[in-house]
Structure 1
Amino acid sequence: MNVNDLIAALGTEFYTGVPDSKLRPLVDYLMDTYGASSPAHIIAANEGNAAALAAGYHLATGKTPLVYLQNSGLGNIVNPMLSLLHEEVYGIPCVFVIGWRGEPDLHDEPQHLVQGRLTLPLLETMGVKTMVLTRESTPTELATWMEEIRPHLAGGGQCALLVRDGALAHLKRKYGNAFLLRREEAIAHILDAAGDAVIVATTGKTGRELFELREARGEDHAHDFLTVGSMGHAGAIALGIALHAPARRVILLDGDGAALMHMGALATIGAAAPPNLTHILLNNEAHESVGGAPTAAHSVDFPAVAAALGYRTVRTAATVDELTRALEELQGSRALSFLEVRTAIGSRADLGRPTTTPAENKAALMPTLRG
């Protein structure tokens, strides 16, 4: 279904959410039409924020908003759905458009399988009327369903379109930035300086590139934790490791979208201030793993934020030479450190995925931490 037909059938005028690869046609359409931060469209830091933004829109206008997300984001949105939007609380109508990762009987990554299986039952439990959108769905079918569902919305209920792969279509938008340093090149230099440090890698292409770099170097994966799901929580994982393995140097490879999603973790890390933790933010100002749509990172001074939250040593880098110097300085640091590395959008076309399971990753890492 073309996104123009989707929008016409839904009749919505305000859009907010977190980008997803299955929803890229919708996100690209919204970027082409409204940009990333306008009265009509805002890319939110996380899905809960999007639900709250939608609530504010409805309170100001009386109209029904649209919130888009990957089904993994339901974990962030359950609280505002049940304690804010629900018809038994404030009764705020909302249309959710949800990318269905891990749908039953289809191959997907392990982090999506449980959530994929539980997505429909979870929506039903929360009283969200749901239609599955497929490649075969027509604008007429969607428009008819929406007419049937409008009394539910008028009564303060919510509905959802659960979008299967390929169900939406729109001309792909190309995203880029002004930075030249490739993320994989930056990770390679970080590995050169890491020694026997444990590395916690954030969700998405960062962990995939770390895994393949280890393979290319003939190294094992016993010093790495690949946060394949739980976007935004790698920082808290790294903090937990650093506090309870104080003799081990810990390096966190974070991303701008992930850091923004749960930015409060930076305050928790700064307050605890483990001297063995180095927080490296690979900032390309984009949700690259799901298409490249922008984050709000272009307006954030991450080094200043880190310094204000208690990080003791703060550095920045945008070139190989700057990165090399910063890593040399931080290698001898005995204080909580933060390094922002500005990187280009883009990765190898043949970039693969980890060939080990999350359980195997855990089993390889834990002896390292206890050794």
Structure 2
Amino acid sequence: MDVKEFLNIIGSEFYTGVPDSLLRPVCDYLIDTYGTSGKHIIAANEGNAVAIAAGYYMATGKAAVVYMQNSGIGNTINPVASLLSSDVYAIPCIFIVGWRGEPGIKDEPQHLYQGKVTDRLLEDMDIAAYHLKKDTSYDELCMQMSAFRTLLEKGKSVAFIVSKGALSYENKTEYHNNSTITRESVIKLVTEASDEDVIVSTTGKASRELFEIREHNGQGHQKDFLTVGSMGHSSSIALGIAVNRPERKVWCIDGDGAVIMHMGSMAVIGNVCPQNFVHIVINNSAHESVGGMPTAASTMNLCQIAMGCGYKEAYTAETEKELRNCLMEAAKSNQLTFIEVKTAIGSRKDLGRPTTTPKENLKEFMENMKNQICGHGSR
């Protein structure tokens, strides 16, 4: 179904959410039509989007659309249960949910369980759901939206669970910035600087590129934890490792969208202030792994935020030469260090995915950590 038809049937005048690859037709259409202000706000996380939608309802008396990947449902549970619920304020909302891990459809390991419980989670939150599939007709959707309007008028929320390929859009928006250094070259330089240290990498293409760099160099993966899901939490994982293994330097390869999603973690990291932690944020000001839609990072000073949170050193790099210097300082430093690297949007067309399972990655990583405890070398 054409995305314009779909959104016309829904009939909302305000949209907010977190971009998703399955919902790229929705995201591209909203960017092309409204940009990122006024009628369309790209939120920090899905719970943030729910709160924005609630504010819109309070101001206008109309239900907003909140779009997300189903992996973001967890972020919505608190504001749905304690803000939107018909047992609390009875604020209606229309959710558009990309169905990663749909049963019977091949997908990556981190999506499979989430896909299996998507219907159940929405049902438990008293959100009526409808599956939008490739063969859903215009008339079927109109009938469903009519039924949904009855629920919305009662202060209840509803959801469209969107299967892969169910929506289409005539224009595939291309996203660019003015940076030149690539994310993959940044990660390659980090692996060189980190030597035998631990690396925790964020979700999306960063972890995929780290895996392929190790493969290309004939190196093992035992030093790397690939955070294939749990967007926004890689720095907290790295913190938990760093404070419990103070003899090991821990490098976190993060992304701007992930940092923004759970930015409170930076305040906690700064407060704990582990001396063996290097936090690297690859900032292309885009949700590139799901299509390239913009984040709020282009208007933020991440280094000032890091220093305000208690990080002891903060650097910004825009070239490989600048990054090499920053990494050299971080490698020899015994201070909590933050490095922002401004990078281009884009990746190799032939970029693959890890060939090991998440459980295999964790087992190998923990065995390496255990061996280091036993004294088998650390720099």
Question: 3-state DSSP class of the match of 1:66?
Answer: strand
Q: Which residue of 2 aligns with 1:106?
A: 105
Aligned counterparts, 1:34-183, within 5 A: 34-36=34-36, 38-170=37-169, 171-183=171-183
Q: Which residue of 2 aligns with 1:278?
A: 278
Q: Does 1:229 align with 2:229?
A: yes
CA offsets 1:178-197 (integer angstroms, 9 cap, x no match): 00000001111111111111
Deviation at 1:126, TM superposition (A): 1.4
Deviation at 1:125, TM superposition (A): 1.7
Q: Does 1:250 align with 2:236?
A: no
Deviation at 1:173, TM superposition (A): 0.3
Tell me how far apart the structure 2 counterparts of residues 127 and 330 of structure 1 sit (CA, whole Å): 49
Tell me how far apart the structure 2 counterparts of residues 4 and 208 of structure 1 sit (CA, whole Å): 33
Tell me how far apart the structure 2 counterparts of residues 243 and 367 of structure 1 sit (CA, whole Å): 18
Tell me how far apart the structure 1 counterparts of residues 287 and 5 of structure 2 sit (CA, whole Å): 25
Q: Does 1:319 align with 2:322?
A: no
Cα RMSD (Å) = 0.7
Aligned length: 370
**Which amino acid is the alignment partner of residue 110 of structure 1?**
P
Tell me how far apart the structure 2 counterparts of residues 220 and 301 of structure 1 sit (CA, whole Å): 36
CA offsets 1:260-313 (integer angstroms, 9 cap, x no match): 000000000000010000000000000000000000001110000001111001
Contact in 2 for aligned 1:208/1:351 (Cα 8 Å): yes
Deviation at 1:348, TM superposition (A): 0.4
TM-score (norm 2): 0.97
Tell me how far apart the structure 1 counterparts of residues 229 and 350 of structure 2 sit (CA, whole Å): 21
**Which amino acid is the alignment partner of residue 125 of structure 1?**
D
Question: 3-state DSSP class of the match of 1:316?
Answer: strand
Question: 3-state DSSP class of the match of 1:45?
Answer: coil
Aligned counterparts, 1:302-313, within 5 A: 302-313=302-313
Tell me how far apart the structure 2 counterparts of residues 236 and 243 of structure 1 sit (CA, whole Å): 11
TM-score (norm 1): 0.99
- Identity, in percent, stands at 53
Tell me how far apart the structure 1 counterparts of residues 225 and 23 of structure 2 sit (CA, whole Å): 28
Tell me how far apart the structure 2 counterparts of residues 123 and 314 of structure 1 sit (CA, whole Å): 42
Deviation at 1:367, TM superposition (A): 2.1
Deviation at 1:34, TM superposition (A): 0.7
Q: Which residue of 1 aligns with 2:266?
A: 266
Question: 3-state DSSP class of the match of 1:254?
Answer: strand
Where does the alignment leave 5 or more consecutive residues of structure 2 unmatched?
373-379
Tell me how far apart the structure 2 counterparts of residues 232 and 135 of structure 1 sit (CA, whole Å): 31
Q: Which runs of 4+ in 1 moved over 4 A?
A: none
**Which amino acid is the alignment partner of residue 71 of structure 1?**
N
Deviation at 1:142, TM superposition (A): 1.0
Q: Does 1:287 align with 2:287?
A: yes
Where does the alignment leave 5 or more consecutive residues of structure 1 unmatched?
none
Contact in 2 for aligned 1:255/1:282 (Cα 8 Å): yes
Contact in 2 for aligned 1:248/1:369 (Cα 8 Å): no
**Which amino acid is the alignment partner of residue 103 of structure 1?**
E
Tell me how far apart the structure 2 counterparts of residues 140 and 177 of structure 1 sit (CA, whole Å): 41
**Which amino acid is the alignment partner of residue 9 of structure 1?**
I
